[in-house]
A and B are shown apart, each in its own frame.
Chain A
Amino acid sequence: MEMIQTPEINLSAICHILTLCVTGLLILVLDLFINDQKLLPFKIDKKLLPYVALGGVILAGISSMNDFGPAVYAFNNTIAADNFAAFFNVIFCIGTALTIMISINYMEQEDLNHSEYYALLLFATAGMMLMALAASLITVFLGLELMSISLYILAGFNRAKVESTESALKYFLLGAFATGFLLYGMALIYGATGSTNLKEIAAAIKGDTLNSATLLYLGTGLMVIGLGFKVASVPFHMWTPDVYEGAPTAITAFMSVGPKAAGFAAFFRVFLVGLGGITDHWVSLIWVIAALTMTVGNLTALAQTNIKRMLAYSSISHAGYVLVALVAANEIGSTAVLYYMLAYAFMNIGAFTVVIVLGKKGEENLNLEDYSGLASRHPLLGFTMAVFMFSLAGIPPLAGFFGKFYIFSAAIKAGYVGLAVIGLLNSVVAVFYYLRITVLIYIKDPVREFPPLSISPFTLAALVIAVIGTIQLGIFPSWILEIAQSSSLF
């Protein structure tokens, strides 16, 4: 019997993923002992589990920060632990940590405090990290599925609410369909190039050793559909508003940041590293999708009266801006995306945190009118919401402004002036609906009674971190830009 030669196993390259998975498993196991305390030498309370999860995410974040440095290829080149992945991994950890912090109080208030929630959040984060690290189509696919399946469950976590179940079902059915497209595309690319490894795919394209160019283009098109669905770009965005509205608000905050960033990480990695040789063939397709995504997202957001739906359409339009950077396909674009996703993580989770703080069980206060006169009753909360809205609108000196600025300058530098103009016009449209909320908060009289706020310490901390992040990134962008520059794919 022939012995199997075990490959070189470099666990340090996936240290953060391991941390997250082990913490997730630990939470599931600890949960078993809650009803049977005699079996454990120490006492454990259900309330402790979120803190275990938070600890795991912080550890994973620290280990991601240690990843900056020379790129490490591990596990037979299925993993590429470079700066690009490290930057994204830090964004994921920030997103997940903030989500856990705002969830602790929210899930208790909604009677949903199950330990599986935190375990699934960690597994989803592990999936996102895998997508950012992926150097092979197989790893992209498995990471994406790990993330998506966790999200389907999290979206339907509030089983008592019909909307939550509806959103999970919609997300699952459409998501499974999109996965089919993605997998078909991957299979065709594999058939055309003879490899699932991104570098070998690039080499096959460059060396012109393709089995069939038609299959390669078909596969590329199908992958655009699959990944376009995951980042909610038009015309694959139909699920977004319904899912964002129905899912528990903390999960909506999570979904709008981490998975979207992960989708873009995979998008950039596959299209710039793997399919960089045929840029001419896909760039016009992405151009159209980017223009449509910005325009449809912003115009539809204007008509929304529900804040969660409005933020859903706003997140669609932001996906459009990021796609502009993909079209640019240059160093500034790749840098801008890293900066933009980090800024977006702070401002969007911040905005959803305010939505959570203003809601109560059974009375979520999701109409825009419910925000009228907020500043006169709770001036600080009104101010923070205004900061997030200004930043999302892209008004200087906040983080959102610089993100947009770099993306559009990347497009202009690459010669796509038309797309940059469409993006700028869209930013102007977007100012309207973001400012409308600010106007309601500051100028209108309250239409309802504001009960005294009861913010838990962790929610407050999340809010403070989000505000500081948004302002800090806007006023002192240079140091983070330097890191982003060293992390770009070029």
Chain B
Amino acid sequence: MELLIFFIFGGVAVLAAFLMIISWNPVAAVLNMILVMFCLAGLFVLLNAHFIAAIQILVYAGAIMVLFMFIIMLLNLRGNEPIWKSRDKNVLLSFLGFLLAVGAFIKLFSTLKASGLNQGTQIGEDFGTTALVGKILFTDYLLPFEIASILLLVAIIGAVMLAKTKID
């Protein structure tokens, strides 16, 4: 059952990633990327890493993808624009991308070969769960955690100060 769920999430992730690369419409590409992020979050859940799964959705699917959307809308990119199509013939970019992909695969296979498929490093049962992360935040990293709240307050003050139309 777990394997089946893994294949569903993994398959959809690969498919969505592929669609993201080939789609001409930037908005469709971004939506596909969100789908990839969701599937990855699902994979994290399968690994018992609930906290990382939640953060994956909040940060990537939430915050970062919204930024992407903003940029696309601000630049008003459309699928049929010539500048968008110019990437078609960009040999350098294609070559670099190819190189990166080949390098990543070589590293992946060499690591797998060296360690064997079934001998992963053992990590704790509760690694990545919300409970464990919360526990660490409130014990070992208590002070940094509290400072982060002041940091967010300052950021809010800044947003209000700099964006408000009239300050009294």
Contact = CB atoms under 8 A, between A and B. Distances in A.
Interface residues of A, number: 36
A116 interface: yes
Given A7-B139, A123-B150, A142 B144 contact: yes
Interface residues of B, number: 21
Interface stretch (B4-12, B107-115, B151-159): B151-159
B155 A142 contact: no
Nearest to A17: B147
A434 to B, nearest CB: 36
Interface in A418-451: none
B144 A78 contact: yes
B88 interface: no
Interface string B126-156: 0000000001001111111001101101110
A467 to B, nearest CB: 33
Nearest to A114: B167
A60 interface: no
A116 B157 contact: yes
Nearest to B157: A116
Contacts of B154: 120, 123, 146, 149-150, 153
Interface in A126-150: 126, 130, 136, 138-139, 142-143, 145-146, 149-150
Most chain B CB inside 10 Å of its own CB: which residue of A123, A139, A142: A142
Contact of A116 (B142, B143, B147, B161): B161
B127 to A, nearest CB: 16
A76 interface: yes
B158 A138 contact: no
B162 to A, nearest CB: 6
Nearest to A168: B162
Interface in A5-27: 5-7, 9, 14, 21
Interface in A64-86: 74-76, 78-79
B139 A5 contact: yes
Contacts of B138: 4, 6
A21 B139 contact: no
Contacts of A168: 162
A4 B140 contact: no
Interface in B87-135: 135
Contacts of A78: 141, 143-144
Q: Quick one: which of A21, A126, A153, A156 has the most chain B CB within 10 A?
A: A153
Contacts of B168: 35
A28 interface: yes
B143 A14 contact: yes
Contact of B150 (A5, A21, A116): A21
A106 interface: no
A150 B167 CA distance: 18
Interface string A387-410: 000000000000000000000000
9 contacts: A4-B139, A7-B140, A7-B142, A114-B161, A130-B147, A139-B143, A149-B155, A153-B161, A159-B167
The 10 closest A-B pairs by CB, nearest first: A153-B158, A75-B143, A142-B147, A138-B144, A76-B140, A7-B139, A146-B151, A123-B154, A149-B154, A78-B143
Given A4-B135, A138-B141, A145-B151, 18 more contacts: A5-B139, A6-B138, A7-B139, A75-B142, A76-B141, A78-B144, A116-B161, A119-B157, A139-B147, A142-B151, A146-B154, A149-B154, A149-B158, A150-B158, A152-B158, A153-B154, A153-B157, A153-B162
Interface of A: 4-7, 9, 14, 21, 28, 35, 74-76, 78-79, 114, 116, 119-120, 123, 126, 130, 136, 138-139, 142-143, 145-146, 149-150, 152-153, 156-157, 159, 168
